[in-house]
């Protein structure tokens, strides 16, 4: 983009991080003769005018007196106050829409009406004035699902409430109606992103798609804020098969074309907040400005003269072909004052690194220079921006800057970009575990053992445990010993890092009990094994105590174990645990039975969490999310959900086994439902699993929301809420469900033909 023929005097209106980003870009332009920011902050370059953004007459008079050529309006309050209209009347070029056109942001009900008129897809919605409290409550009562409650007018990015339950929704509506008009919407689910375009009244061009983090707390929890961080570009768009140009054509161009008939047309930044639902992208809101903190990460990616770009929009001569962007990523992390957003405490002193870490920028928001020191004014104070060839590199640079300048009391999210990191794990193999290779190894071992096994081995490798015919147990008509050896996997590393090994013993015992239970056996005795680079007595005691309690609960004798210290074999600080269990069952009751047939039903029992499988994936999935975060729908810290002990199914299934109607049990371990159901099915039979036929626990609801795995691999990686499956003849289903003293779920059926189909 070429420079302008005349060097300009430019005024930027605003005081936030967006305005600092604009000022920094314009200051670098050779076309800028003089830069003014009103009122600006401690970081903005150029001159500062101490004029509030809504003091229209004062700004207008000063622009006349100082010969301002171009005004770039940052905040929505100035647009709503009619600053653009006043300046245009004086012949000043303005980047920012008129007050009438800015109603796309200042009135959410108006924006929804425009979107509906233009056929732009969005949620079901309705708007109500304060005099319509009754109809608003009726709309809520008639709406079956979760809702979003929005103040229709400006609220600084904080007028949105996502209530949990109808009572909370009614309360939120009452509060919102006390302020003014309210918009109620169905709550959509999916990743959110920001599509921002610059417009000259008839032509528009989009910036790279960004994602911001509105919630205060890590894991996207807590109250809405003006924004706690952002990154760009968003790779998810391409991963979902969407093109930025298509989103621009669907959500931006219809609005610009429609408003072109208004006279001047829409000039400025048009921001479409989108949510990428399973049914396709949907509009959440329109804003009439560059976002904050989106501007802080988008403008550094611009490979064109910013002043020339904004001026071309203001005078109606935007050339989309001249707008280019640098390769790479930008990630911004916001530092806010303690108590933000409800009652931020001003006066926090900020010490900025000099020089800045490599590939970083710092953009000021609510700061002022007092007695030679930079002081926060009580809201968002700084945005630390990192740049890099990958999002991970940009994020690392941003957090390096955060660590250098964040006061201990500042509000900072440590998980910016965490959903992008989760989606980057495209397969379980990418997380470090190759299920297919593991299955191949089991198959090869089974081939070798088949050549050496005696007639007493009834169940070997590939089943849920070994089974040996030992007829000398005289109290049985024909006793069969069933054995299982297993470990806890990488869950133990997560537990050790969190200092919470007490549940690992229960994990180990319950996993092994469930494995022998899957063959109809009750446990007799258990042996444990713990190895580490260095034995720590407290760690051993915590694990063994958990083992002892779990064994006692199921009537299983703990008869011994082994502890091994192996420096050089295990990395420093690493440990592993394993166990062996032996159980017994009458041969006539050994599972699976031979009469499994097509048409038998799959009865699922709930898992309470991930049990002991898939933790290599889960740790990668939440790699950028602090374990103390509580992202919705979790009702507590993520670490609590991840470390729930593996459930034991013996107490709940014992009465069902006594009915004699259970044909098989499937313990859902590594490989999930697709990998474990075939282990009990006779040749020529498969299964159909009906996805959605059981409720997802909160952890798996979160996983389902952020994962990039396709449904088959996701259900091979994790149990997804079903930890044990009973195969039952359809006529016996009532007797079995009656014997199970908890909810069970009809999740599918046995089918003719091999393989498991997820429907």
Both 15 and 115 in one domain: the answer is no
Question: And the tokens for 304?
Answer: 């064109």
Mean pLDDT in residue range 650-671: 97
CB proximity list for 479: less than 8 A, separation 6 or greater: 470, 471, 472, 473, 584, 585, 586, 587
Residue 435: the pLDDT is: 58
Percent of the chain with pLDDT over 70: 94
Same structural domain, 143 and 227: yes
CA distance 28 to 304: 11
Out of 30-39, 450-459, 618-627, pick the least confident.
450-459
Evaluate whether residue 386 is within a structural domain.
no
CATH number at 19 reads 3.40.50.20
Q: Tell me the mean pLDDT in the region 670-697.
A: 95
233 contacts 329 by C-beta, under 8 angstroms: yes
Q: Average pLDDT of 455-460? A: 48
Residue 400 lies in a domain: no
Average pLDDT estimate for 229-241: 92
- Pick from 272, 306, 330: which residue ends a domain? 330
CATH number of the domain encompassing residue 524: 3.30.1330.10
Residue 359 is assigned to a structural domain of this protein: no
* Span of 465-479, 520-534, 565-579, 672-686 with lowest mean pLDDT: 465-479
> pLDDT band for position 438 (50/70/90)?
very low
Mean pLDDT of the chain: 91
Q: What dihedral angle (degrees, nearest 10) is formed by the CA atoms of 581, 586, 587, 592? A: -70
Do residue 157 and residue 269 come from a single domain? yes
Q: Is residue 392 part of a domain?
A: no
Q: DSSP assignment of 424-477, as one string?
A: H--STGGGT--HHHHHHHHHHHHHHHHTT--TTEEE-TTSSSEEEE-TT-TTSS
Domain match, 174 and 37 both: no
| Candidate from 494-503, 602-611, 661-670 with smallest mean pLDDT | 494-503
State whether 92 and 167 are in the same domain. no
Q: Is pLDDT above 80 for 456?
A: no
Residue 174: inside a domain, yes or no? Answer: yes
Answer whether residue 430 is part of any domain.
no
The Cα-based distances of 270 to 110, 191, 254 in angstroms read: 15, 20, 12
* Residues 317 and 174 both lie in one domain: yes
d(CA 264, CA 654): 76
| Whether residues 108 and 94 fall in one domain | no
pLDDT at 244: 93
Which tens digits make up the pLDDT trace of 176-209? 999 999 999 999 999 999 999 999 999 999 999 9
**529, 534, 574 from 566: Cα distances, Å:** 13, 7, 10
Number of domains observed in the structure of the chain = 4
> Which pLDDT tens digit goes with each residue over 574-614?
889 999 999 999 999 999 999 999 999 999 999 999 999 99
pLDDT tens, 66-111? 999 999 999 999 999 999 999 999 999 999 999 999 999 999 999 9
For the whole model, what pTM was predicted? 0.87
Task: Provide the pLDDT for residue 441.
Answer: 43
Query: Residues 300, 305, 311, 313: what is their CA dihedral angle, to the nearest 10 degrees?
Result: -70
Q: Would 545 be classed as within a structural domain? A: yes
pLDDT at 455: 44
What are the residues facing 724 on neighbouring strands? 605, 667
Task: Tell me, yes or no, whether 154 and 75 share the same domain.
Answer: no
561's tokens: 């174990």
Under 8 Å between Cβ of 233 and 208 = yes
The residue range of the domain holding 547 is 455-590
Name the domain boundary from 590, 610, 642: 590
Q: Which of 460-464, 505-509, 517-521, 652-656 has the lowest mean pLDDT?
A: 460-464
Q: Which helix (H) or strand (E) holds 543?
A: helix 537-553
Task: Give residue 426's pLDDT.
Answer: 76
Mean pLDDT lowest among 151-165, 334-348, 491-505, 589-603: 151-165
577 and 601 fall within a common domain: no
Q: In this structure, are 492 and 617 located in the same domain?
A: no
Mean pLDDT of 656-668: 97
Is 600 among the domain residues? yes
Co-location of 736 and 668 in the same domain: yes
Give the Cα separation of 216 and 160 in Å (integer). 13
As a whole number of angstroms, the distance between CA 659 and CA 535 comes to 47
Query: Given this model, what pLDDT does residue 583 score?
Result: 94
Residue 656 has pLDDT above 60, yes or no: yes
Q: Does the structure show a pLDDT above 80 at 470?
A: no
pLDDT-derived band at 388 (thresholds 50, 70, 90) equals very high
d(CA 80, CA 56): 11
Report, as an integer, the average pLDDT of 305-311.
97
Q: What is the dihedral of CA 27, 33, 39, 40, to 10 degrees?
A: 10
Residue finishing a domain among 264, 296, 330: 330
Same-domain pairing of 84 and 206: no
């Amino acid at each position: 983009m070429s420079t302008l023929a005349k060097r300009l005097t430019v005024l930027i209106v605003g005081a936030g991080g967006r305005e600092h980003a604009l000022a920094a870009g314009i200051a670098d332009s050779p076309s800028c003769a003089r830069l003014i920011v009103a009122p600006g902050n401690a970081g903005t370059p150029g001159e500062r005018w101490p004029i509030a953004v809504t003091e229209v007459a004062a700004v207008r008079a000063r622009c006349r007196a100082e010969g301002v050529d171009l005004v770039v309006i940052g905040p929505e309050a100035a647009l709503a106050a009619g600053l653009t209209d006043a300046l245009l009347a004086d012949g000043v070029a303005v980047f920012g829409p008129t007050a009438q056109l800015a109603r796309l942001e200042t009135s959410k009900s108006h924006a929804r009406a425009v979107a509906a008129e233009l056929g732009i897809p969005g949620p079901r919605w309705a708007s109500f004035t304060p005099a319509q409290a009754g109809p608003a409550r009726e709309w809520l009562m008639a709406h079956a699902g979760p809702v979003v409650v929005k103040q229709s007018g400006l609220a600084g990015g904080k007028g949105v409430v996502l209530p949990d339950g109808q009572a909370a929704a009614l309360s939120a509506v009452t509060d919102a109606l006390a302020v003014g008009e309210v918009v109620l919407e169905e709550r959509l689910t999916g990743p959110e992103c920001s599509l921002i375009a610059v417009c000259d009244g008839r032509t528009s061009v989009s910036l790279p798609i960004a994602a911001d983090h509105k919630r205060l707390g890590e894991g996207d929890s807590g109250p809405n804020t003006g924004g706690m961080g952002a990154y760009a570009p968003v790779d998810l768009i391409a991963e979902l098969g969407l093109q930025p140009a298509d989103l621009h054509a669907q959500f931006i161009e219809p609005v610009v074309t429609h408003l072109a008939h208004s006279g001047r047309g829409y000039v400025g930044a048009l921001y479409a907040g989108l949510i990428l639902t399973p049914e396709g992208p949907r509009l959440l809101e329109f804003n009439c400005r560059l976002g904050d903190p989106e501007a802080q990460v988008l403008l550094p990616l611009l490979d064109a003269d910013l002043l020339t770009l904004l001026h071309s929009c203001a005078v109606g001569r935007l050339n989309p072909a001249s707008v280019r962007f640098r390769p790479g990523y930008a990630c911004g992390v916001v530092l806010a004052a303690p108590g933000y957003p409800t009652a931020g405490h001003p006066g926090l002193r900020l010490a900025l690194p000099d020089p800045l870490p490599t590939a970083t920028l710092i953009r000021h928001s609510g700061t002022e220079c007092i007695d030679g020191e930079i002081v926060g004014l009580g809201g968002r104070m700084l945005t630390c921006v990192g740049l890099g060839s990958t999002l991970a590199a940009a994020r690392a640079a941003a957090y390096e800057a955060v660590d250098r300048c964040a006061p201990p009391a500042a509000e900072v999210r440590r998980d910016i970009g965490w959903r992008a990191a989760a989606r980057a794990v495209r397969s379980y193999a990418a997380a470090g575990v190759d299920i297919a290779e593991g299955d191949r190894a089991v198959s090869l071992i089974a081939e070798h053992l088949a050549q050496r096994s005696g007639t007493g081995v009834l169940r070997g490798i590939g089943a849920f445990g070994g089974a040996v015919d030992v007829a000398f147990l005289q109290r049985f008509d024909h006793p069969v010993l069933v054995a299982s050896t297993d470990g806890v996997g990488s869950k133990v590393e997560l537990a050790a890092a969190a200092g919470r090994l007490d549940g690992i013993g229960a994990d180990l015992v319950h996993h092994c009990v469930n494995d022998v239970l899957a063959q109809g056996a009750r446990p007799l005795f258990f042996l444990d094994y713990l190895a580490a680079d260095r034995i720590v007595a407290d760690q051993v005691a915590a694990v063994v105590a958990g083992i002892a309690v779990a064994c006692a609960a199921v009537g299983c004798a703990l008869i011994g174990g082994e502890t091994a210290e192996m420096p050089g074999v295990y990395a420093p600080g690493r440990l592993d645990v394993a166990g062996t269990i032996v159980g017994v069952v009458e041969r006539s009751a050994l599972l699976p039975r031979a009469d499994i047939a097509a048409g038998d039903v799959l009865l699922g029992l709930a898992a309470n969490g991930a049990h002991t499988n898939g933790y290599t994936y889960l740790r990668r999935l939440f790699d950028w999310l602090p374990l103390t975060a509580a992202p919705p729908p979790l009702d507590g810290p993520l670490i609590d959900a991840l470390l729930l002990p593996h459930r034991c199914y013996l107490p709940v299934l014992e009465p069902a086994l006594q009915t004699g109607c259970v044909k098989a049990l499937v313990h859902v371990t590594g490989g999930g439902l697709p990998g474990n159901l075939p282990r009990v099915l006779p040749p020529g039979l498969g299964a159909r699993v009906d996805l959605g036929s059981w409720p997802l626990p909160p952890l798996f609801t979160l996983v389902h929301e952020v994962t990039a795995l396709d449904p088959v691999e996701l259900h091979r990686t994790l149990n997804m809420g079903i930890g044990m499956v009973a195969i039952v003849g359809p006529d016996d289903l009532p007797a079995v469900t009656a014997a199970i003293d908890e909810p069970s779920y009809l999740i599918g059926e046995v089918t003719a033909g091999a393989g498991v189909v997820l429907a």
